[in-house]
């Protein structure tokens, strides 16, 4: 497998003892560091301070932490007002509630109003597990991606969440960052490059491009390893910035492989799959198989069960990749 060296991925990749940490923990560390570097960074939370990992920030900077109570519409609009007087607010809740409940406020008072507000949606995706469909936010990527002026980031692991949080604090624009609750394999390292708008080719290949985001990046990498045994050379791309999309990196990969699979823990309608399909259909039309939740709601269960049921786990990626390679001749 051609792991791209410049990405400085974990040396425990594919090993049993790979570090596992919830992505949201990285956000908590990033927020603390961003707050240390810039006194304009403020944090708002809607009654979920501990589980969104904002406690370290709250303890370090109590005067810059605002408890909003269970009121997500007020959460983002107060953040808009704080931004109007020069603050850099991180408005945090579970993705199901924010941006699930307050989309119009985000549209009008943040995006159209061009306010420098960061919306942080934790506990997104199927991996919330036992909490069930109400709390498994699957539509957030689509909801945020269609908004003009909005940046959308889905970090692959806790390191990337840390870096993305820091980067967003320095970028003057509305942004949405999506976090998962469960422990996620730590694929990258402190030294891995990250910049907003840049997708990373984690391993290069010639037969198929597997483009993934969030916790699915590790599933894609594991799938690529298995595919190698079937003589399929897969290129794995970590597309952590869904908007603005890294059209250059993705188009270059697609032109080479002519076969695309997208993998996400979200509705593939409008999600990463939607974004990639829009790009591919206009730049270099080739078949795209979109793995993600297919126009259904989630349900209670363990993460592995859910990823299998909704066909986004390593095994599913291998299966659909092999089918695609068989079906579509490259030249």
Interface positions with other proteins (CB under 8 A): 42, 63-64, 66, 68-69, 71, 73-74, 77-87, 89, 104-105, 108-109, 112-114
What's the token pair of residue 163? 């870096």
- Taking alpha carbons only, the member of 66, 65, 32 closest to residue 162 is 32
- Give the phi and the psi of residue 286 in degrees, each rounded to 5: -140, 165
In the complex, least distance from residue 216 CB atom to other proteins, rounded to whole angstroms: 35
Are 86 and 76 in contact by the 8 Å Cβ rule? The answer is: no
What's the token pair of residue 259? 């076969």
Is the omega angle on the peptide bond into residue 198 within 30 degrees of 0, that is, cis?
no
In the complex, least distance from residue 96 CB atom to other proteins, rounded to whole angstroms: 17
Q: Map tokens 């695309």 to a residue.
A: 260
Other residues' Cβ atoms within 10 Å of the Cβ of residue 152 = 29
In angstroms, rounded to a whole number, what is the distance separating the alpha carbons of residues 23 and 1?
26
Which CB atom, from 102 or from 184, has the smaller least distance to other proteins?
102
Which CB atom, from 77 or from 267, has the smaller least distance to other proteins?
77
User: Catalytic pick from 21, 33, 50, 72?
Assistant: 72
In the complex, least distance from residue 123 CB atom to other proteins, rounded to whole angstroms: 21
Which CB atom, from 10 or from 80, has the smaller least distance to other proteins?
80
In the complex, least distance from residue 136 CB atom to other proteins, rounded to whole angstroms: 24
Q: Map tokens 């823990």 to a residue.
A: 265
Which CB atom, from 79 or from 164, has the smaller least distance to other proteins?
79
Indicate if 50 belongs to the active site.
Answer: no
Which CB atom, from 113 or from 251, has the smaller least distance to other proteins?
113
Sheet holding 41-45, edge to edge: 65-67, 41-45, 88-94, 118-122, 175-178, 151-153, 241-243
- The residues annotated as belonging to the active site are 72
């Amino acid at each position: 497998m051609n792991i791209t060296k410049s990405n400085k991925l974990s040396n425990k990749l594919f090993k049993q003892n790979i570090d596992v940490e919830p992505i949201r923990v990285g956000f908590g560390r990033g927020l603390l560091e961003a707050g240390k570097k810039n006194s304009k960074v403020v944090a708002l939370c809607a009654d979920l301070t501990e589980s969104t990992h904002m406690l370290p920030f709250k303890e370090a900077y109590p005067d810059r932490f605002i408890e909003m109570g269970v009121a997500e519409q007020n959460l983002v609009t107060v953040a808009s007002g704080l931004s109007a007087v020069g603050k850099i607010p991180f408005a945090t809740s579970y993705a199901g509630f924010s941006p699930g409940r307050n989309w119009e406020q985000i549209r009008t008072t943040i995006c159209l109003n061009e306010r420098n507000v960061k919306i942080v949606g934790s506990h997104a995706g199927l991996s919330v597990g036992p909490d069930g469909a109400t709390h498994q936010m699957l539509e957030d990527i689509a909801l945020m991606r269609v908004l003009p002026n909005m940046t959308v980031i889905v970090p692959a692991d806790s390191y990337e969440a840390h870096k993305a949080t820091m980067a967003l604090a320095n970028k003057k624009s509305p942004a949405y960052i999506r976090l998962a609750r469960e422990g996620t394999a730590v694929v990258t390292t402190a030294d891995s490059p990250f910049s907003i708008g840049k997708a990373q080719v984690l391993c290069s290949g010639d037969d198929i491009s597997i483009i993934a985001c969030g916790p699915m990046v590790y599933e894609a990498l594991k799938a690529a390893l298995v595919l190698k045994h079937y003589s399929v050379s897969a290129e794995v791309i970590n597309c952590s910035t869904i908007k603005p999309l890294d059209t250059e990196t993705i188009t270059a990969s697609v032109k080479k492989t002519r076969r695309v699979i997208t993998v996400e823990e979200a509705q593939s309608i409008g999600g990463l799959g939607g974004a990639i399909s829009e790009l591919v259909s206009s730049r270099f039309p080739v078949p795209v198989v979109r793995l993600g939740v297919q126009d259904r709601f989630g349900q209670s269960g363990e993460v592995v069960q859910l990823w299998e049921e909704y066909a986004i786990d390593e095994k599913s990626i291998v299966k659909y990749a092999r089918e695609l390679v068989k079906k579509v001749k490259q030249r």
